Amino acid sequence: MAMRSGRLASAMIAMIEEFRTSLKGFAMKRATLVFTLALAAGLSAQAASAQTLKTVKDRGMLSCGVSQGLPGFSAPDDKGNWAGFDVDVCRAIAAAVFNDPTKVKFVPLSAKDRFTALQSGEIDVLSRNTTWTLSRDTSLGVNFTGIAYYDGQGFLVRKSLKVNSALELNSASVCVQTGTTNEQNVADYFKGNNMKYEVIAFGTADETVKAYESGRCDVFTSDVSQLYAERLKLANPADHGVLPEVISKEPLGPLVRHGDDQWFDIVKWTLFAMINAEELGVTQKNVDEMAKSDKPELKRVFGTDGNLGETLGLTKDWVARIVKATGNYGEVFDRNVGAGSKLGIARGINQLWNKGGIQYAPPIR
Amino acid sequence: MTIEARAPPSQFVAKLRRVLGGQAGWGGFALQILFVAALAWIGYEIVANARANLAAQRIASGFGFLSNTAGFGVSQSLIPYSESDTYTRVFFVGLVNTLVVSVIGIFFATLIGFLIGLGRLSPNWLLARIAGGYVELVRNLPLLFQILFWYLAVLAALPNPRQSISLFGSFFLSNRGFGIPKPVGTVGFEPFAIAIVVAIVGALLLRSYARRQLFQNGRLIKIWPYVLGLLIGLPLLATLVFGKPVTFEYPELKGFNFSGGSRIIPEFVALTLALSTYTAAFIAEIVRAGVQSVHKGQMEAGASLGLTRGNTLRLIVVPQALRVILPPLTNQYLNLTKNSSLAVAIGYPDLFSVFAGTTLSQTGQAIEIIAITMGVYFVISLVTSAIMSFYGWRIGRSMGA
């Protein structure tokens, strides 16, 4: 009993603690965001669009929206610095713009608040496990810049339930984070397979996981990568398993506001540069050597031939800056979510196109 | 020579000038016109700017989204709802959930609040200290903390559905909520319902008769045995004559959860508990202040007439105290309703959570949705205060004030 109440107390303290931040992100931020959208963004319309690069440079900081704490993608590390796959995309952009990957202000956002934050100009780029869908692309006033991670939605269950397939989940209680594509996919999936379910939706990922852990739900559903990440937060990760079914396509990538093509290009090509770097074998270690190469392909990439970086609005050595700061796509994947990380997610379809995967970037030329 | 009586200044114009311009007269009136015009212009600028910029950023606007399919599930809906319904339906589901939690919360908060408030004034030392302790403890802890406490405490203590606590084999308590038999109306339902209505009307008539007797002739009539007889006897009679009014559908464990029957979800229980106990602490203080505002001579007068303490309170003190209690009490009711939006912390699908939350993030139409939600809370608040004002007016009238 003492142990249970001790765990209860610590769970509550953690929830309160987290809620302070999320409330800030909720009540206050939501209100300010909406009014900013209505008033400030309204009154300074021209300033908001088409000049993001200048705004960022004047500020001396890139303002980057990330998740509120998803190990492997964006979470503070043990020294309190933000780290993860999505975080490295932000750092790469900062490196391309400032030649300094530390010039990023990270803004943790819940799934519900992320788009409003981007629309209202609070952040310059949203790099947060966000699924590219048609309705988001067309009606939210945002542009997806590319696919950084090919994901799909799955289910996490207790092993003690002895469930081997998502099709055995009839009448289950499902915990989900509100405002996500997951919430709608799970409805489609259960309906499509003629199964009943009860959904309990929470504002943040942490609340969702806590409700799952407390036994309120049989299943926690989210993108598979996120399930692996959240599983690390559970008391006994080994007691929980991800079911084999992947019920949706979840292409995740960074996004920017409508109406600023230059900034759109910069974010888009930062990601493409990381992927191209891996394809060309440019790594954080050998980047200085490779920059001196005589190969025409590498000369274009490193700006010793032509002025591709300048056409983007950056400098000629933009690719070198990016790779020096964060490494190439493969290195970033490996370090944060892949074999070299606690999550240990297999590269799978996120492998490069010429190595059996579908990750593919347009050429730099 | 006659003195022609000068026509008195037109009362109407003078009154108009006073109403519109106050003490400043027509000048004040002109200032007000200017002020309103300025406000209208600012309002217009805001709306026009927002529209232009939404269009420039190609963000969809307008209310067309309300007829789109929602495509997500909701854990509690008292009106029929499925994933293929529209966002309008989601709005009503959330609204009903908010109203239910608020009304039930207000009921219990008032009940507990009055008991604690009167308890604090009790001559019984222990009771007064316990009530005082309750107020100090509950009032000084943040509401969000209390909601999470109840939610996590309720959940942590309860077993999973397969090991649920069963009462009489028809009530089931588990971490999925409280499963209860669901009444299903049968042939005898209508006469049964009519009998209940008749019994309630009869009881109300009896009560007003008793009050008249009390105020006019000073006769104290005990009506509760008759009321009880009416309320139990009539429906019983209807059942005997017309047959069973309802049958019950019992919850059964099927697969992971209970199916059949009705279920009270833990989110609802936690939210109602937290809201009503929290608001009750404030209501208790309001009741205490109200009762103490009535001169203590009134209490002594009641005692000297031979009334019991309970009757003195009920018939003399509380009605007078109500005039002081009602306005701040209305505030507490409004607070409770608005505080119910904290439901989002524990996944209870209230208006704020499913409409200003989920719907907003699915459609991205922040301005429209926030405007609608603001309007709804505004209307709920206005209606609540209107009801309370009406009640206050009636009390005032019945006391001849």
Of residues A7 and B356, the one with the higher pLDDT is B356
Rounded mean pLDDT of A154-173?
92
For position A48, what pLDDT does the model report? 47
| Residues in chain A closer than 8 A to B261 (CB atoms) | none
Identify the three-state secondary structure at position A10.
helix
Specify the higher pLDDT residue, B232 or A93: A93
More confident residue, A316 or A15: A316
Average pLDDT over residues B121-144: 94
B12: pLDDT strictly greater than 90: no
Give which of B42, B51, B57 to mutate to test A binding, by max A Cβ within 10 Å: B57
A25 has a pLDDT exceeding 50: no
Distance of residue B139 Cα from the nearest chain A Cα, in angstroms: 18
In the prediction, which pLDDT does B17 show?
76
Report the largest interatomic distance among the alpha carbons of chain A, rounded to a whole angstrom.
71
Distance (Å) from the alpha carbon of B12 to chain A's nearest alpha carbon: 43
- In this model, does residue A105 exceed pLDDT 90? yes
**CA-CA distance, A295 to A290, in Å (whole number)?**
9
Q: What amino acid occupies position A267? A: V
Highest mean pLDDT among A196-200, B14-18, B208-212: A196-200
How does DSSP classify residue A317?
T
Which residue of A110, A184, A256 to mutate against B (max B Cβ within 10 Å)?
A: A184
- The ipTM is 0.75
Q: Per mean pLDDT, which range of A101-115, B65-79, B152-166 is the poorest?
A: B152-166
- pLDDT category of residue B1 using cuts at 50, 70 and 90: low
Residue B258's φ and ψ, nearest 5 degrees, are: -80, 140
Q: Among A11, A35, A31, which Cα is nearest to A23's?
A: A31
Ranking A135-144, B220-229, B336-345, B377-386 by mean pLDDT, the lowest is B220-229
Encoded amino acid at B154, one letter: V
Is A79 touching B (CB cutoff 8 A)? no
The answer to whether residue A44 scores a pLDDT higher than 80 is no
More confident residue, A35 or A148: A148
When the pLDDT of each residue in chain A is averaged and rounded to a whole number, the result is 87
Residue A132 has pLDDT above 50, yes or no: yes
Report pLDDT for A10.
59
Note the pLDDT tens digit of each residue in B219-250: 777 888 888 888 888 888 888 887 777 777 77
- B57 with A199: Cβ contact below 8 A: no
Q: How far is CA B90 from the centre of its chain?
A: 21
Average pLDDT over residues B140-159: 88
Interchain contact, A259 vs B58, CB within 8 Å: yes
Closest CA to B47 of B371, B357, B347, B283: B371
Read off φ and ψ for residue B135, nearest 5 degrees: -60, -50
- Residue, of B382 and A13, whose pLDDT is higher: B382
pLDDT at A16 over 60: no
Say if residue A350's pLDDT is above 50: yes
Question: Tokens in use for B352?
Answer: 């704020």
Residue type, A120: S
Percent of chain B with pLDDT over 90: 39
Among A102-106, B148-152, B229-233, B302-306, the minimum mean pLDDT is found in B229-233
Asked if B141 reaches chain A (Cβ–Cβ under 8 Å), the answer is no
pLDDT of A6 strictly over 60: no
Q: Which residues of A touch B266 (CB under 8 A)?
A: 216
> What is the predicted pLDDT for the residue at A47?
43
User: Cα A165 to the chain's mean position, in Å?
Assistant: 27
SS3 A61: coil
Predicted confidence band at B13 (pLDDT cuts at 50, 70, 90)? confident
Alpha helices in chain A (DSSP H): 2-23, 29-35, 41-43, 45-48, 52-59, 85-98, 114-119, 134-139, 181-192, 205-213, 224-231, 261-280, 287-291, 296-301, 308-312, 318-326, 329-336
Chain A residue at shortest CA distance from B370:
A34
Q: Nearest Cβ partner of A211 from B50, B255, B347? A: B347
- Return the bridge partners of A70, or none: A74
Q: B256 at the A interface (CB within 8 A)?
A: yes
pLDDT at A15: 54
Looking at the predicted structure, is the pLDDT value of residue B36 above 90?
yes
Q: Report which of B53, B103, B99 is spatially closest to residue B79, judged by C-alpha positions.
A: B99
Q: What pLDDT sits at residue B73?
A: 87
Region B157-171 average pLDDT: 79
Q: To the nearest whole number, what is the mean pLDDT of chain B?
A: 87
* Dihedral angle computed from the Cα positions of residues B190, B192, B193 and B198, in that order, rounded to the nearest 10 degrees: 120
Q: What's the whole-number mean pLDDT along residues B281-309? A: 91
Is B49 in CB contact (< 8 Å) with chain A?
yes
Confidence of residue A326 (pLDDT cuts 50, 70, 90): very high
Q: What per-residue confidence (pLDDT) applies to A3?
A: 44
| Closest by Cα among B82, B75, B174, B98 to A200 | B75
Tokens of B265: 């979800």
Confidence band of A40 (pLDDT split at 50, 70, 90):
very low
Condensed to tens digits (0 to 9), the pLDDT of residues B258-290 reads 777 788 889 999 999 999 999 999 999 999 999
CB B369 within 8 A of CB B356: yes
Q: Look at residue A320 and give its three-state secondary structure.
A: helix
**Could you say which DSSP state residue B177 is in?**
E
Cβ B173 vs Cβ B158: under 8 Å = yes
Choose among A38, A116, A173: nearest Cβ to B46: A38
Residue B2: per-residue pLDDT: 60
pLDDT above 60 for A229: yes
Instruction: Grade residue B3 by pLDDT with cuts at 50, 70 and 90.
Output: low
Q: Taking CA atoms, what residue in B is nearest to A180?
A: B362
Cβ-Cβ contacts under 8 Å for A194 (sequence gap 6 or more)? none
The answer, yes or no, to whether residue A211 has pLDDT greater than 50, is yes
Quickly list H helices, A193-245.
205-213, 224-231
Q: Of A243-252, B75-84, B127-136, B242-251, where does mean pLDDT reach its minimum?
A: B242-251
- Other CB atoms within a 10 A radius of the CB of residue A117 amount to 23
**pLDDT tier, B103 (very low <50, low <70, confident <90, very high otherwise):** very high
Using a CB–CB cutoff of 8 Å, tell me whether B46 touches chain A: yes
pLDDT value, residue A246: 94
* Confidence (pLDDT) at A8: 55
Sign of the four-CA dihedral B194, B196, B199, B203: negative
Is the pLDDT score of A36 beyond 60?
no
Res B185: pLDDT? 74
Helix or strand run (H / E) with residue A39: none
**Looking at the complex, does the CB of residue A143 fall below 8 Å from at least one CB of chain B?**
no
Instruction: Give the model's pLDDT for residue A330.
Output: 96
Q: To probe the interface with A, which of B144, B344, B348 has the most A CB atoms within 10 Å?
A: B344
**Average pLDDT, integer, range A89-117:** 93
Q: At how many degrees (to 10) do helices B87-120 and B125-139 cross?
A: 150
> Which residues of B, range 265-294, sit inside 8 Å of A by Cβ?
266-267
Where is pLDDT greater, at B89 or B155?
Answer: B89
Provide the pLDDT confidence category of residue B400 given band limits of 50, 70 and 90.
low
- pLDDT grade, residue A223 (50/70/90)? very high
> Residue A144 — very low, low, confident or very high, per pLDDT cuts 50/70/90?
very high
Return the percentage of chain A with pLDDT > 90, whole number: 65
| pLDDT of A127 strictly over 80 | yes
Q: Who has greater pLDDT, B177 or B382? A: B382
Distance CA A197, CA A200 (A): 10
Q: What is the DSSP letter of B258?
A: E
The neighbour count for residue B27, using CB atoms within 10 Å, is 10
Q: Calculate how close chain A gets to B161, using CA atoms only, in Å.
A: 10
Assign B165 a pLDDT band (cuts: 50, 70, 90): confident
- In which band, very low, low, confident or very high, does the pLDDT at A50 lie, cut at 50, 70 and 90? low
Compute the average pLDDT of residues A319-329. Answer: 95
Among candidates A4, A207, A258 on the partner chain, residue whose Cβ is nearest the Cβ of B57: A258
Q: Is the pLDDT of residue B187 over 80?
A: no
Q: Region A320-347: what's the mean pLDDT?
A: 93
Please report, for residues B120, B310, B317, B345, the alpha-carbon distance to residue B351 in angstroms, rounded to integers and kept in the order given.
36, 41, 39, 13
Percent residues over pLDDT 70 in chain A: 86
Strands A153-158 and A255-257: unpaired
Residue A72 is given by DSSP the state: T
**Interchain CB distance below 8 Å, A198 and B152:** no
Paired sense of beta strands A219-223 and A153-158, if any: antiparallel
| Min Cα separation B144/chain A (Å) | 8
Residue A33 has pLDDT above 80, yes or no: no
Residue B287 is encoded by which pair of tokens? Answer: 């009741």
For residue A67, the one-letter residue type is S
